[in-house]
Structure 1
């Protein structure tokens, strides 16, 4: 297990995303872009949303300016256009590497951080709390993906945190 709980949570986030990509690659390719009456119009759009959110929050954690973060959002949106499932998986992998580089080089994951949002104002929080937010956001939307996959007539994949814990205990 990772030494700081926030690192373990982020590891779970990556694990759960990888489980979903593995399951999606087992399903018929046409479901990836198929229009669905759901929270998001397709599985692709849901993955795009998770990716954009993760991109934004990495910039926030790195204490980048809002201008830099908004520029990264625009770059992310451009990079997501018409991506195949495999290309999306690579984007998620690369982003997780950027997170891990940042998190593993951060000496204090409980340090105070004060991001400023143009609409909501300043937030006094800890870096580890923002990591928890990224994980919660991903978990919420993987739930959307599960519902969408079931709606299309297929089974999904269990990504509850406890399954991560079981799998990690088997690897010891």
Structure 2
């Protein structure tokens, strides 16, 4: 199971890297061009994925809700106008932080997630990683739609494509 969780997370890292590789090939203005869609720009979408990833890492590290919420708000503010190059560096650093953390954890460790509005739930660490990956997949789908609406090709980041790279 440990390898399954790490492999799932490695897929998330692979897909994000593929996105950045693709974005670097597009015209520079694609990054921060204002759009009327789910997110106001590609930058804001990638800021959201990044910030949520780090918020969930804080949850995995069993930090209190108010701390991870404050971290989320701080990161969203810090990255709302981040350059493509710097955002990519942030993603790489976050991936390393996750990889270091996951290498030291047991995937079936039970965590209690507490939320002031929704209450609390016990879940294995692997369930949180599944959520992080699903969240990224969902929003990479948004990205493809946003790019196509702007007249640019999307990028295929499905798990099946990842399997062919292994």
Say what the alpha-carbon RMSD is for the aligned residues.
Answer: 1.3
Measured after TM superposition, the shift of residue 78 of structure 1 is 3.6
Contact 2:6 2:102 in 1 (8 A): yes
The question of 1:22 aligning with 2:4 is answered no
Q: Report the counterpart of residue 93 of structure 1 in structure 2.
A: 92
Contact 2:109 2:124 in 1 (8 A): yes
User: Compared with structure 1, are the counterparts of its residues 84 and 62 closer, same or farther at alpha carbon in structure 2 (3 Å cutoff)?
Assistant: same
User: Compared with structure 1, are the counterparts of its residues 38 and 49 closer, same or farther at alpha carbon in structure 2 (3 Å cutoff)?
Assistant: same
**Equivalent residues in 2 for 1:2-151 (5 A)?**
4-106=3-105, 108-151=106-149
Identify unmatched segments of 5+ residues in structure 2.
none
Contact 2:47 2:79 in 1 (8 A): yes
Distance, in Å, in 2 between the alignment partners of 1:138 and 1:82 is 20
Per the normalisation by structure 1, the TM-score is 0.92
Measured after TM superposition, the shift of residue 58 of structure 1 is 0.4
Q: Which runs of 4+ in 1 moved over 6 A?
A: none
Distance, in Å, in 1 between the alignment partners of 2:92 and 2:51 is 14
Measured after TM superposition, the shift of residue 90 of structure 1 is 0.5
Measured after TM superposition, the shift of residue 3 of structure 1 is 5.0
Identify unmatched segments of 5+ residues in structure 1.
none
Describe the SS at the equivalent of 1:4.
helix
Distance, in Å, in 1 between the alignment partners of 2:28 and 2:121 is 42
Measured after TM superposition, the shift of residue 75 of structure 1 is 3.0
Distance, in Å, in 1 between the alignment partners of 2:117 and 2:80 is 27
Per the normalisation by structure 2, the TM-score is 0.95
Q: Report the counterpart of residue 165 of structure 1 in structure 2.
A: 163
Describe the SS at the equivalent of 1:123.
strand
